């Protein structure tokens, strides 16, 4: 401890700054350096094409879903909203439009507004909806485009019941979509 002229006690030591700058690697002392490597050595470059370094194979969870299993373009959403049939519930509205161009699995589009909650809550609802659709979406006709619009009660359902509640609510709407539109429910 030293005392400066103003009478304030100072715990800092006065060290010259030049010593740290003169060493080649000021932060690593020579005793901690890697002794097997020569000074200034770099890794050799490998010739030819190299495989990509991947931490995981595919996506976690249900990897059987194809990449195009989602609606991403605004025109696709508009087509489903304008020409598809709608089935509403307390937590969600399900829009279904039969594409008819191929017999692929149904494609899913999600609309979860800020009325549902903050980003964390919206992402939770979207994750649960994707998982529920992956489990129950095959009940819809092949080649369908589906848009699920989450209402404000979807957040409470996700927090209270989790995947089972989301799956139940979505399943009820899928059941209505499977029925012919001629009869009243």
72 vs 92, residue with greater confidence: 92
Question: Does residue 39 sit within a domain?
Answer: no
Q: Which residue's entry shows tokens 């937590």?
A: 91
Beta bridge partners, 88, equal 93
Residue whose C-alpha is closest to residue 157's, from 105, 107, 112: 112
pLDDT on residue 55: 53
Task: Say how many domains are in the chain.
Answer: 1
| Alpha-helix residue ranges (DSSP H) falling in 5-58 | 18-22
Question: Does residue 13 sit within a domain?
Answer: no
166 vs 29, residue with greater confidence: 166
Q: Is the pLDDT of residue 184 over 50?
A: no
Question: Does residue 162 sit within a domain?
Answer: yes
Q: Are 157 and 119 in contact (CB under 8 A)?
A: no
Contacts of 75 (CB under 8 A, 6+ apart): none
Q: Is the pLDDT of residue 183 over 50?
A: no
163 vs 50, residue with greater confidence: 163
* Region 66-82 average pLDDT: 84
Question: Does residue 56 sit within a domain?
Answer: no
Q: Is the pLDDT of residue 16 over 80?
A: no
pLDDT on residue 178: 81
Beta bridge partners, 98, equal 144
Q: Are 124 and 185 in contact (CB under 8 A)?
A: no
Confidence bin at 185 (pLDDT 50/70/90): very low
Question: Does residue 158 sit within a domain?
Answer: yes
The pLDDT > 70 percentage for the chain reads 59
Question: Does residue 49 sit within a domain?
Answer: no
Confidence bin at 65 (pLDDT 50/70/90): very low
Q: Which domain holds residue 125?
A: 74-178
Question: Does residue 62 sit within a domain?
Answer: no
Write out pLDDT tens, residues 87-112: 999 999 999 999 876 667 889 999 99
CA 102 to chain centre: 28
Question: Does residue 29 sit within a domain?
Answer: no
CA distance 80 to 150: 15
Write out pLDDT tens, residues 125-161: 999 999 999 999 889 888 899 999 999 999 999 999 9
Q: Is the pLDDT of residue 9 over 70?
A: no
Q: Is the pLDDT of residue 12 over 90?
A: no
* Region 1-6 average pLDDT: 60
> What CATH number does the domain containing 141 carry?
3.30.230.10
């Amino acid at each position: 401890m030293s005392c400066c002229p103003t009478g304030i006690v100072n715990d800092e030591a006065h060290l010259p700054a030049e010593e740290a700058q003169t060493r080649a690697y000021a932060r690593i002392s020579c005793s901690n350096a890697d002794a097997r490597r020569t000074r200034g050595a770099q890794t050799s470059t490998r010739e030819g094409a190299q495989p990509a370094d991947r931490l995981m194979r595919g996506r976690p969870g249900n990897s059987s879903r194809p990449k195009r299993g989602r609606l991403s373009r605004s025109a696709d959403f508009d087509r489903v909203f304008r020409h598809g049939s709608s089935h509403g519930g307390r937590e969600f509205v399900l829009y279904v439009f039969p594409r008819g161009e191929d017999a692929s699995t149904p494609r899913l589009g999600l609309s979860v507004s800020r009325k549902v909650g903050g980003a964390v809550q919206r992402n939770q609802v979207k994750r649960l909806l994707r998982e529920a659709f992956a489990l129950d979406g095959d009940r819809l006709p092949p080649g369908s485009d589906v848009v699920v619009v989450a209402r404000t009660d979807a957040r409470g359902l996700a927090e209270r019941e989790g995947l089972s509640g989301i799956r139940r609510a979505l399943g009820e709407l899928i059941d209505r979509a499977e029925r012919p539109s001629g009869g009243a429910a």
